[in-house]
Structure 1
């Protein structure tokens, strides 16, 4: 603990000293004589296409970026969609999580201005990129080739989100827009759960222990749903930039952003499908519908102080509040509740699930760059992040409809069938990095650096289960109004239901019953790194470096599955090299190699069960790190300043790969574990950014990329049994159908095609029209076991279009179309014995159109 605090404190002290030195040097500059001459002043827009390509061309490291100018043309509003415009990236349907080069959430990392940020959801390692607005950023860097300045916990890529630093004339811009999802607007009687409000800031508090113990049923919100009128999406945001001169050389620039947007969606189709090896249904909801409402409220201020040409300091603070309501009604068959009527001729299982989630994320950063002398440059960055994520009052009810007698009764006396669930994740995250770059003559540069991180996580969850007391058939339940059964009066009679938790009965043992399930985690990372750049000739430049990381994690858990603690301590030495050979001033050949690692997520380690409608996920305390060996070979051609053609071949060799699997259990649960000794990924990427026609004020251009992946991993039942058995272990086992299979989450082929038309006229009037198409081929969602096939997400395509007008008088107009071809999203269970693909999930997201108007002055 002392060492951890000392490491972070040392970084802050070093920062303070650097600031003091910078101010001293700035004072001495005032006394120096000025030499008359020509001074060239100008600003380079970091997010412009030409600047993005120019930096990529000159960099020793392999860099791939998506700039704000390109994103604005395409009408891309959030970072998750923006990242999918990069080669080899795909977004997982139904979430903001990104797969890069076939590797999913746990294999990637996310940074803001080079510093790590926490996830806004305990189910994931990385922050949901869909909550970060592209209006706030200069560009997104996709670092698929490792270098020692990055944290080593990555196998796919690091996504670096670079905040906008304003350079230019003062301005203020306001934007107002609206859109509509045709699924939502065409749904009669659009409904959401009782409690949350339009803006998503409603605080639904968990009942106090005293209230539950003394009165029992004290829940304030209703089980009855509320009807929503006019489910139109809306957004209102503003941004501004200004700057001030300070003294003779100083300049202070300020950028600010604030906005609110919401979104209504509706899905209908099939979900929850799970089958035995002979295609016999275990669960299938053939009539399923989901209502979804999300909000995003964001504020950002970014203050940049340029003391002089040698010293720069930046302070940024970003607050993001998001909320999500999801209401699902599912009708079908579930063997866990009423397993004697598979064809549903008389009995139909009815499940209602209402979820409300809120996230409050605060990201604060202070950073600086200082040229101490001509060969020495100091760069530092410190940050504090705070996350408060809650799922207050998640509700679930399960009844059975008797179609013959036309009445409903509760599906099971099992208390967990009907419940209210509350959880909260609190995280404090301290991060920092400091490095020194020293130029050694004209050919060499050496970089020495230190990175530190301390993150504490505190998760608590309580589920109030309602044990039904009357025998089935002796009572009537109205599925549209469960309040007629679950209420204080019925509870106090003692004849209808009891309230229990996983720890016992609230009425008879409240002190024990009301202890929440919990786990806490303290993670301390300390790393040192060295990098050497050496220019052998005008054509050949090499970068060689190594990073040492110490990762310590203290984990304590007390859940319904297991109680205990773990202390993990890993030491990793991570070498890397980058070679760049310039064939000429327009062509580069690059070769890179590195070693990295992949760590399991917190909820993949903590023995906690998270139950969703279509699956139950169990944490596994037996998980451990996987090691990755990476190699890239890339050719780049830059025909013009806005153009790029590249081809990349890459490979990854993974020791002890982690994957989501269906474990041996009667509940058909999934977990994550080290499934075999080795895995590998081979791939080929191609990218083309090309002007098709460019003459006068008309430009027709395209941006195309594609990725081919070939993956394989070993599946070893004895290894899984051996490593998961024993005291303090999960004791999970598998019965894989094969000894080798594709990597979970990896699609064989990915493609993005963008066609754009830019038309200028008059005095600074611009029209942009962009059509974007994306394709993702089949990929494994989870590996099968016990002769039950893999869960496979089938190929999926999207088509978007954006038309934007920007006029010289400051007015702007935008028209968008999203998911225009509106295909089915389908997940199947691919059973090997029968050869059949059985539908697990199938629905359409719905096409959407929107318009907005803006004014800048």
Structure 2
């Protein structure tokens, strides 16, 4: 549909979008015409519509649409977010940093409602789980307004799922790709357990079986060879509508399955003292990975009449993430003699993460009168996340004898681990909008959220009791030692948990570690939108947030258990001002107060262990307060085009940071590290047509961000305020963790419409992320720093008029080296180093 013909109708159409509250418009030529009914549909994910929405909105918004994401070959929301200005993705996860602020500083919504994280380690959902084919757009709200929860200082990420409009259709997509690293390994291994589709989850041994038999594990610790590690994907989506009475019912459906193999080879686990002496390093490291994602979405939208709309959506996501690591190197936890030439540690670690998330939402928009509107939104989210059967086996190879043995000094070196997180998340909101006059509009609303979390974990340690020399160990087959027969003899190993020995004290030993948390949020907000004249408009608002949190725990850190109660109340004012210089230029100013609460992971006293890091929570953490200011200039040269420049600053009181503790395991925790921190920077964005020749268009979409961060580091404050965490910082001030100074995205696209009705799209995408601090140093040991990284992707798509589409993709063409270092004063010492490898893919689709 030609949107240029809808300038008058746009005032009405936007009433049925999430920005209904922003009808204030600065254009002299656009007027409201009473009694005129214009029917039509708009593609919310189209570039022109998103830019027009941004131009008209009183609030500062930034959106990445499905149409452009499809051209770039972006398949998941986490990658989509990184295409926005000031956003970066944390390597190895789906978590994103916005304006240098990470997971705890951001919030995530689907259709305006908060959703839970799929992982107890994070506050936000792993955005890579959400597929771009089922969304209209992703909205980044980096400037606060009171309709949002106040627990954010980076951005609120709102994923708007697709509501079907247009002609009935059915579309099927088939795709395949290869990781050059994976197919070139020669032999690809995974752990025993999950099947190809990721639905055969290993079960935790029953307590009765452990008591009666002892070694009751049903999966093998031997590596399983995988043939043909080739990625594949299949998805279908459809849309249809019916006239029912005076209304119209539409349905959008989406279902998909995809998998991905990965292989890394390099160095990991590096840890050093202040003088650069090695405490641990695995300089021969291989990691095999296999991920699956099964997604289903149904979105029902019933438009009773132009005044009333009701929508229901349900979204189920099942994902698995398998990793098998095989490592050789030096680790003083296992090799007592520091002379590396005498032998080396062999470590095998296999882990699987399984997530099941169900998101149900029911919402409605109602025009009660010409001046009064009501909207409401209810959500029920159910989550189950598991790490079933994490396996770790460690031994030492003696070069002198050519044999392997266990390090008896570390009973947890060989173990199996099971955990499970279950969450029930209920959220709801109601909002009234009253238009007193054409220049004065009042918005007010209430929001509530209740989340119940239950986390349980048990680690079964295999304590070796047989002296060295009394057994034979094959590091390629740990099953030959850890098995039922050897356990039942009582001569080789025992199974113990942190509570005791299963053989002699099963009643206590089999009680899992746990923490249970209840979180209750209540909020009320009010906004006053004022149009002072045709150029100047403002929004003045305030929000009251109350957060109550209660955590009960019994873990290895506090084996006697305990309880934490938190109660925070915040009053959050906000101001947004828009000045339209003319029909193509806007100036915007925003100021607000927000806050940042610690994550559940960061508070709960539980240890999370990875191959190169161990972290634990700090019960004494408390929220940071944030004072934010933004100044933005926008220019809209033509349809599809946008140029903007933003300056922003943040003052953060009592900032929270990840700090490194004194340990050979790179142990980290969290603390309010100083009295204040600062973030300030500048952002530039341009979406511009470079050349138009008949049916061809050459365009660019680029953004650039410079971000400067600093925070006070006060060890006396940390010692004074905390009972379980101490600090000995190497400097009095440092950067904030996760913040890169420079971020850049450059996309160059060419589209050609052929006389046959077919269309060809070619897009190249380049991204740059500069160095950023992963964790602060401790006792003269330098910061852990992720070095700068460059990426380049290219996508070609061809679609015929008959609905057949063909795509080719080449991703990670530069194949950069991911390099994490310990930045000591005398050298940069490698912590982790690898290359992900390029990925080549092809796909075909048919729409009818």
User: CA-to-partner distance for each residue in 1:689-723, whole Å, 9 max, x for gaps?
Assistant: 10001131000000010000111000010110011
- Say which SS state the counterpart of residue 184 (structure 1) adopts: helix
**Is 1:482 matched with 2:478?**
yes
Instruction: Give the one of 660, 663, 667 matched to 1:662.
Output: 660
Structure 1 partner of 2:738: 745
Deviation at 1:37, TM superposition (A): 9.6
Give the Cα separation in 2 of the matches to 1:377 and 1:383: 21
Q: Which runs of 5+ in 2 are unaligned?
A: 1-33
Give the Cα separation in 2 of the matches to 1:748 and 1:39: 51
Say if 1:413 and 1:468, in contact at 8 Å, map to a contact too.
Answer: no
User: CA-to-partner distance for each residue in 1:45-65, whole Å, 9 max, x for gaps?
Assistant: 100000000000000000100
User: CA-to-partner distance for each residue in 1:389-415, whole Å, 9 max, x for gaps?
Assistant: 000100000001112322111123422
Deviation at 1:41, TM superposition (A): 2.4
Cα 1:733–1:575 change in 2 (3 A) is same
- Say which SS state the counterpart of residue 373 (structure 1) adopts: coil
- Say which SS state the counterpart of residue 764 (structure 1) adopts: coil
Structure 2 partner of 1:533: 529
Structure 1 partner of 2:348: 352
Equivalent runs, 1:144-543 vs 2, <5 Å: 144-247=142-245, 249-342=246-339, 344-543=340-539
- Say which SS state the counterpart of residue 345 (structure 1) adopts: helix
Give the Cα separation in 2 of the matches to 1:764 and 1:554: 61
User: CA-to-partner distance for each residue in 1:271-317, whole Å, 9 max, x for gaps?
Assistant: 01010000001110000010000000000000000000000000000
Say if 1:664 and 1:734, in contact at 8 Å, map to a contact too.
Answer: no
Structure 2 partner of 1:732: 725
Say if 1:413 and 1:467, in contact at 8 Å, map to a contact too.
Answer: no
User: CA-to-partner distance for each residue in 1:775-832, whole Å, 9 max, x for gaps?
Assistant: 0000000000110000000000110000001110110001011100101000000002
User: CA-to-partner distance for each residue in 1:563-603, whole Å, 9 max, x for gaps?
Assistant: 20011111100110100000000000000011111111111
Say if 1:65 and 1:141, in contact at 8 Å, map to a contact too.
Answer: yes
User: CA-to-partner distance for each residue in 1:392-440, whole Å, 9 max, x for gaps?
Assistant: 1000000011123221111234221000000000000000111000001
- Say which SS state the counterpart of residue 735 (structure 1) adopts: coil
Structure 1 partner of 2:838: 847
Give the Cα separation in 2 of the matches to 1:41 and 1:109: 35
- Say which SS state the counterpart of residue 341 (structure 2) adopts: coil
Give the Cα separation in 1 of the matches to 2:336 and 2:330: 8
Say if 2:612 and 2:665, in contact at 8 Å, map to a contact too.
Answer: no
Instruction: Give the one of 824, 829, 841 matched to 1:838.
Output: 829
Give the Cα separation in 2 of the matches to 1:658 and 1:501: 32
Instruction: Give the one of 45, 55, 58 matched to 2:56.
Output: 58
Deviation at 1:467, TM superposition (A): 0.4
Normalising by structure 1, we get a TM-score of 0.94
Give the Cα separation in 2 of the matches to 1:284 and 1:516: 32
User: CA-to-partner distance for each residue in 1:821-853, whole Å, 9 max, x for gaps?
Assistant: 101000000002xx2000111000010000000
Equivalent runs, 1:567-578 vs 2, <5 Å: 567-578=565-576
User: What is the number of residues matched between the two proteins?
Assistant: 813
Give the Cα separation in 1 of the matches to 2:275 and 2:352: 37
Give the Cα separation in 2 of the matches to 1:81 and 1:301: 23
Structure 2 partner of 1:49: 47
Give the Cα separation in 2 of the matches to 1:37 and 1:762: 41
Deviation at 1:666, TM superposition (A): 5.8
Normalising by structure 2, we get a TM-score of 0.95
Structure 2 partner of 1:647: 645
User: CA-to-partner distance for each residue in 1:430-485, whole Å, 9 max, x for gaps?
Assistant: 00111000001110110010000000000000000000011223322111111110
Structure 1 partner of 2:553: 557
Deviation at 1:764, TM superposition (A): 2.6
Structure 1 range deviating more: 441-450 or 344-353 = 344-353
Give the Cα separation in 1 of the matches to 2:409 and 2:730: 35
- Say which SS state the counterpart of residue 93 (structure 1) adopts: coil
User: CA-to-partner distance for each residue in 1:163-217, whole Å, 9 max, x for gaps?
Assistant: 1001000000000010000000001110000111100001211111111112111
Give the Cα separation in 2 of the matches to 1:732 and 1:87: 36
Give the Cα separation in 2 of the matches to 1:473 and 1:676: 53
Instruction: Give the one of 758, 761, 764 matched to 2:754.
Output: 761
Q: CA RMSD in A?
A: 1.1
Give the Cα separation in 2 of the matches to 1:477 and 1:171: 61
Give the Cα separation in 2 of the matches to 1:788 and 1:427: 38
**Is 1:717 matched with 2:715?**
yes
User: CA-to-partner distance for each residue in 1:315-334, whole Å, 9 max, x for gaps?
Assistant: 00000000011000111011
Give the Cα separation in 1 of the matches to 2:802 and 2:843: 17
